[in-house]
Amino acid sequence: MLVRIVKMSFETNNIKTFLSIFESSKTHIRGFKGCKFLELYRDKNNPNIFFTYSYWDSEDDLENYRHSELFKGVWAKTKALFNAKPEAWSVDKLETLN
């Protein structure tokens, strides 16, 4: 399983817009082939910073999503709202304790 972590920082006046974009696209992202999990987090100390965590069956599934019209549309709207360059990591999930 591949885990994708994306860190995004927004101008304060753009946060409502970002949350609206996420709200309207989250079920489509989660429903994309190979996406098994999606969460949105907000930094406790800096409320302008958000993280998405998504679980993917494979790197190919993530790449298919990243090249899809869905991603291109969501990302075009979202990237206009940033106040810093986003950061992203693809990591292998090794262990989970519940």
pLDDT tens, position by position, 48-89:
999 999 999 999 999 999 999 999 999 999 999 999 999 999
Reported pTM: 0.93
User: In Å, what is the CA distance from 12 to each residue of 15, 17, 50, 67?
Assistant: 6, 10, 12, 29
Q: What is the pLDDT of residues 13-39, one digit of tens each?
A: 999 999 999 999 999 999 999 999 999
In this prediction, residue 16 carries a pLDDT of: 98
Q: Where are the domains of the chain?
A: 2-92
Question: Are residues 10 and 40 in contact, defined by beta-carbon separation less than 8 angstroms?
Answer: no
- Domain range 2-92, CATH class: alpha beta
